[in-house]
Structure 1
Amino acid sequence: MTLFDLALKNIRRNMKSYGLYIGSTIFSIIIYFTFAMLKHSDDISGLAETSKQMQAVMSASAFVLMIFVAIFILYSNSFFMKKRKKEVALYSLLGVRKRSIGFLLFFENIVIGLIALVIGVGLGFLLSQALLALLLKLMGLSLSVGFAFSMQAVIETVVVFFLIFLVTSLLGYRVIYKFKLIDLFHAEKKGEVQPKARILSALNGVLALAGAYWLALQDLMTSSAWRIFGLAMPLIIIGFTILGSYLLFNSVLVYVLNLLKKSKNWAWKGLNLMTSSQLLYRIRGNAKTLTIIATLSATTITAGGAIFGTYYNTEKNVEQFTPFSFMWEGEEQDIDSGIVEDAVSFEAKDITIEGEVYDQSYYVIDEETFMKLTEALGWDVENVDLAKDEVIMADPFYDERLEEKAATVEVGNDVKAVDQFFEQPLFNIQTLPGITLVMDDASFQELDGGEGTYQAVQTADYKDHLELSKELEAKTEHFSSAVQSYQDSIESSGAMLFVGSFLGLVFLVATGSIIFFKMMTEAEEDKGKYTVLYKIGVSKKEMKKTVRYQVGLIFLAPLVLGLMHGAVALMAFSNLLDMNLWEPVIIWMAAYTLIYILYYVVTVRGFNKTITQNAAQEG
């Protein structure tokens, strides 16, 4: 029997033991191939003209995904190899040469990789068709999607994962040379020294997180911290966040668990003492895992929440900067009167005022036009009666963080007082961008400037008139429409939402899987202890209860910290864009938490099944 035959036989006989590793490998291939299929899809390529950022976003995301799946498979492989060290030691004890054992592990990993590739590519192809239809729907495009198979995506996936499997196979080959025989036999039994609670480390952790949160909430426009650190600021915030998370897990959890162990009322109730001891002695390994999970959770929540918030507010943003359904320069056009709610034809003058630092341009209208426009927009404005030295100003790009509201404005040789100030645009900014001034009729007539005739039309259900928008655009100049702005925005934000949600789901599954692998490995290590407890009379109900507590802490701690990190980051993002994102962010966090809880339930059931089956067999 050759080594290759022995490798195949091992896989067939130990499929249950290999299941977790094979499952995680297939999952990684499915998500990468699915994304590669979407990236190379003819339908997506056809959208490049409509959404120019699409290909760049997909390519950048594919690179991030490639790095991520490589790390994920290496992480899964490390748990897989830990379980196999005893088997490797037996081969060595029976006289098999180290080189032969290394080749055996190499062949096994390559075979598992090939099997996972075939299954992953097949399932990924089916999944990509459904996700492509979802992507087009999110982008607001009614295109028919046919089944298409991209050989380029297959080649890219095979190359990427062949390199990953080659690396993991070489790592497996190295195991036999790296460890002594006695270390391999006791790999699963190797414990950790109980760490001591360090108040200084806990305090440093709190200070690091407080510093990260403070820096994150500093205003980008006015903060001295941003001026000092510049582009290094995000890296500093991330560094402080990771450091603070690790120190909190490594010190605060140790402190809390030690307190619980010393509490007689809690420690001597059921198996609580065992639960706290189990967690305490593994806290160093758990601290690293919990830090990774909290960081991944925060990344997923922040990126997903920001993208979902932008998509959620698409319509609001369009209506804010494109208040009229249609607007253009030129004469009136023939539009069905049945859909027109308001139509305003007006004159506007374009003037430029020289300044010491830069010149300032204004669009000027008279009082009568102002009243017609505000009535069409539904503004609650009383009749205005401006004096010759007064104006009304509307600046849609006003930011109180950068400047104060203008009290006066120079028009030619005159200085006019600003009677009223509006932060909303009077016009579609694509047609008439910039600041608008309203003057009394006499001053407007006397004013020298480039004069133009403009049309502003308000319709019912503006999103239903895309064809009309295209017709008007072909006939007019400086045309803008709310429906076209909405379509462009929904395509861009819809694509970003899809990519962000896809990567977010992948990260979420990865965080759940990391905990699942961790806890199932601990279940294998602890099943002997639970068997002893079962033999001395501890009920299965009591054992399941302690499992829920033990697994619950490992799930809850990084989730709470990840939600805190994400909330602070999204608050900073909301302040930067001056948008209210709380409603979509809460929806996103609730969805994330729900899926996370499902992983907790699955992990608890898997842990319980491992220990109770072993207890029943040996009891």
Structure 2
Amino acid sequence: MTLFSIASKSIKKNFSNYFLYFASMIFSIVIYFVFVSLKYDTTIQATTEASQKISSVFSGASVVLIIFVAIFIWYSNSFFTRKRKKEVGLYSLLGVRKKQIGRMLFYENFIMGALALIVGIVLGSVLSKFFVMILMKVMGYSVITNFTISIEAILNTIVVFTIITLVTSFHGYRLIYRFKLIELFQADKEGEQEPRGSLIIALLSVIFIGIGYGLALQDLMDSALWRTMGFMITPLVILITVILGTYFLFSTLTVYLLRISRKNTKKYWSGINLIGTSQLLFRIKGNARTLTVIAVLSATTLTAVGTAYSLYYNNRSNVEMADPSSMMFIMVDNNVDEKVKDLVTNSKDHELVYHETIPTLQIDADVTNLNSLFSSDEMIYTVISNGGYNKLAKLQSRNEMLSLKANEAAVLDAAYNEKFSPAYVGSAVSLKVNGQNEDITFKFLKKFNVLNLRTAGATIVVSDELFTSLKQETTQENMVAYKITKEDDAKKLTEEIQAIMPEQANFSSFYEDYAAGLESSGLMIFMGGFLGLVFLTATGSIIYFKQLTEASSDKERYEILHKIGVNKREVKRTIAKQMLFIFGLPLLAGIAHCAVALTAFSRLLQMNLVIPVLICMGVYTCIYIVYYFLTVHAYYKTVTTTK
């Protein structure tokens, strides 16, 4: 009988022990295959205008996914091999040579890797169409996908996971050479010494996290620390201090707090709290690195998904700010406007809300007094009259009418940001008309547009008297605005109008900008959600594997407790408390890190991220809770099942 056949029989007879590792490999392969399939999917390439951009994004993200999946499989393999150290020690005790044991472990891992690759590709082929439909839906496309299998995706997945399987197989082969026989039999007792709690390092954990939070929440434009350290170095300082602080939090501060709680003898000696507290105390230091990684990954996942969902969530409101009219263009030919009017009025899917022609002027202005950070001292303004503004504002249901006199003016800036935009109110600019300057003073700032941004650009409102005077010195341009119902579903009508529109009309539409925003933000939320789900599943699985590994070594202790009369309900309650500590710490730390990061981000961009972020945190926490209950159940089943 060859070593290969022995390895195959070993897998068949002990498949229940191999299942967790096998399942983790299948999960990793399915995720990667689905991800690569999206890159090569013919439906996406044929439907979306940004297929090249999507392919590039998926190519870059696939590198991140490969690294993460490789680490996840390595973690899974480490837990699996640790669980088998006693078995390997038994082989050595029976006289089997190390080289033969190593080769058998190599064959076992390679067989499982090959089987997982086959199963993973089959499942991935089925699921890839489902994820294509989700991606197309969030990007605003409604298409029917055909079932196709990408040969490129299959070859890519085979190459990547063959390499990963070979590496982990060699890792298993080296296992027998890295440990002495006594170490293999005592594997379950590794790291069972009581850790020391240091008050100084515990305080350092709080100080480091405080420094990171403090730097992140400072105003970038006004902070002396950001200017001193530099805008490239400060984020690195924040990252390092928060990660170090989190590690010290789990490795030392929790030890210190558990040792203090042990002094509460009334609670400590109640029921079997002694067992749960002692197990947490003895193992917390060994779990510190894992908990830190999970906390940081949770924070990264929540921040990325929260940001992507915020952009997706706010897409419509952002487009409404930029494009208050469904369609707008500069009138260069009266016949074009008549044709557009016929197309709109004859459309069966849309009703006309309003149709207005607004007189405007294009005037150069000296804006030196604005002291703008991001524009030159000269810019072109689209100028409209007070009356024209009030008419549009009323049609657009804005209760912000203006009453300007003489050389008073108002500026319309939908993208206004207190940190970066000029202080308009009270500032003066000079309009240049026929070699003469006409000074105007901004009396009002309106944080919205009444003209579409892409057609009109920067817009200011002047008094009717001044507009009449300026009109005599420059050429008037009439801008035509249409408002229709169901403007976010006006693809057909928009394409028909674009076909007859001359280039100099500078046509803009709500649908065009809405669809473009939906496509880009939809791609971001899909990427963020997909990778976030991978990270969440992987981190939850890491805790799951680790706790089940510890459950196997705790089995004898719980059997003793059962023999001395401890009932199963009390055992389950203790396990639930113990798991709550292990699952709750990284989740709370990750949510705290994410909350600080998104608070800083929302302040910088002047965006309200509360609702989308709370939704993301809620979904993330719910999935995490599912992992918690699964782990509690599996741990309880492991320690209470008798052969």
> Scaled by the length of structure 2, what TM-score is found?
0.92
> Offset at 1:351?
1.3
Q: Which residue of 2 aligns with 1:463?
A: 488
Q: Which residue of 1 aligns with 2:627?
A: 599
Q: Of residues 334, 339, 348 in structure 1, which corresponds to 2:341?
A: 334
Q: Give yes or no for the alignment of 1:445 onto 2:469.
A: yes
Q: Distance in 1 between matches of 2:605 and 2:24?
A: 38
Q: Which residue of 1 aligns with 2:118?
A: 118
Say whether the 8 Å CA contact 2:11–2:108 is kept in structure 1: yes
Aligned letter for 1:459? I
Q: Distance in 1 between matches of 2:341 and 2:236?
A: 56
Q: CA RMSD in A?
A: 1.7
> Offset at 1:576?
2.4
Q: Distance in 2 between matches of 1:98 and 1:349?
A: 87
Q: Which residue of 2 aligns with 1:151?
A: 151
Q: Which residue of 1 aligns with 2:556?
A: 528
> Offset at 1:422?
1.2
Q: Distance in 2 between matches of 1:319 and 1:398?
A: 15
Q: Distance in 1 between matches of 2:470 and 2:262?
A: 86
Q: Which residue of 2 aligns with 1:380?
A: 399
1:579-614 CA deviation, whole Å, 9 max, x = no partner? 111111111111111111111110000001011113
Moved more, 153-162 or 357-366: 357-366
Q: Which residue of 2 aligns with 1:539?
A: 567
Say whether the 8 Å CA contact 2:425–2:443 is kept in structure 1: no
Q: Give yes or no for the alignment of 1:393 onto 2:411.
A: yes
SS in 2 for 1:431: helix
Aligned letter for 1:563? I
1:524-547 CA deviation, whole Å, 9 max, x = no partner? 010001111111111111111111
> Offset at 1:68?
0.6
Q: Distance in 2 between matches of 1:547 and 1:514?
A: 18
Q: How does 1:54-453 map to 2 (within 5 A)?
A: 54-227=54-227, 228-330=229-331, 331=334, 332=337, 333-335=340-342, 336-337=344-345, 339-354=351-366, 358-382=377-401, 384=403, 386-402=404-420, 403-407=422-426, 408-412=428-432, 413-447=437-471, 448-453=473-478
Q: Distance in 2 between matches of 1:187 and 1:124?
A: 36
Moved more, 547-556 or 39-48: 39-48
> Offset at 1:474?
2.1
1:118-150 CA deviation, whole Å, 9 max, x = no partner? 111111111111111111111111111000100
The 1:383/1:158 distance shift into structure 2, 3 A limit, reads closer
SS in 2 for 1:256: helix
Aligned letter for 1:497? I
Q: Distance in 2 between matches of 1:449 and 1:184?
A: 90
Say whether the 8 Å CA contact 1:325–1:482 is kept in structure 2: yes
> Offset at 1:191?
3.3
Say whether the 8 Å CA contact 1:298–1:563 is kept in structure 2: yes
1:189-229 CA deviation, whole Å, 9 max, x = no partner? 22332122212111111111111112222334443444332
1:407-465 CA deviation, whole Å, 9 max, x = no partner? 12222433222232212122111111124232333544335445322101112221232
SS in 1 for 2:478: strand
Structure 1 gaps of 5+ residues are none
1:509-535 CA deviation, whole Å, 9 max, x = no partner? 111101101110110010001111111
Q: Which residue of 2 aligns with 1:504?
A: 532
> Offset at 1:563?
0.9
Q: Give yes or no for the alignment of 1:21 onto 2:40.
A: no
Number of aligned residue pairs:
614
Residue identity over aligned pairs, in percent, reads 43
Say whether the 8 Å CA contact 1:388–1:443 is kept in structure 2: no
SS in 1 for 2:380: strand
Q: Give yes or no for the alignment of 1:478 onto 2:493.
A: no
1:76-131 CA deviation, whole Å, 9 max, x = no partner? 00011111112222222222221111111111111000010011111111111111
Q: Distance in 2 between matches of 1:113 and 1:283?
A: 32
Moved more, 422-431 or 389-398: 389-398
SS in 2 for 1:334: helix
Say whether the 8 Å CA contact 1:519–1:607 is kept in structure 2: yes
The 1:452/1:24 distance shift into structure 2, 3 A limit, reads same
SS in 1 for 2:453: coil
Q: Distance in 2 between matches of 1:597 and 1:241?
A: 25
Aligned letter for 1:306? T
> Scaled by the length of structure 1, what TM-score is found?
0.96
Q: Which residue of 1 aligns with 2:9?
A: 9
The 1:345/1:107 distance shift into structure 2, 3 A limit, reads same
1:354-390 CA deviation, whole Å, 9 max, x = no partner? 4666212211112221222212222213462x33222
Q: Distance in 1 between matches of 2:616 and 2:481?
A: 38
Say whether the 8 Å CA contact 2:386–2:402 is kept in structure 1: no
Say whether the 8 Å CA contact 2:246–2:292 is kept in structure 1: yes
Q: Which residue of 2 aligns with 1:566?
A: 594
> Offset at 1:16?
0.8
> Offset at 1:45?
2.2
Aligned letter for 1:276? T
Q: Distance in 2 between matches of 1:7 and 1:381?
A: 78
Say whether the 8 Å CA contact 1:391–1:416 is kept in structure 2: yes
Q: Distance in 2 between matches of 1:222 and 1:467?
A: 48
SS in 2 for 1:188: helix
Q: Distance in 2 between matches of 1:45 and 1:485?
A: 21
The 1:229/1:273 distance shift into structure 2, 3 A limit, reads same
Moved more, 149-158 or 360-369: 360-369
Q: Distance in 1 between matches of 2:590 and 2:361?
A: 54
Aligned letter for 2:579? V
Moved more, 436-445 or 287-296: 436-445
SS in 2 for 1:143: coil
Q: Distance in 1 between matches of 2:214 and 2:47?
A: 41
Structure 2 gaps of 5+ residues are 369-375
The 1:464/1:41 distance shift into structure 2, 3 A limit, reads closer
SS in 1 for 2:230: helix
> Offset at 1:4?
0.5
SS in 2 for 1:53: helix
Q: Which residue of 1 aligns with 2:42?
A: 42
> Offset at 1:326?
0.5
The 1:43/1:232 distance shift into structure 2, 3 A limit, reads farther
Q: Distance in 2 between matches of 1:608 and 1:381?
A: 64
SS in 1 for 2:590: helix
Q: Distance in 2 between matches of 1:490 and 1:565?
A: 28
Q: Distance in 1 between matches of 2:450 and 2:210?
A: 43
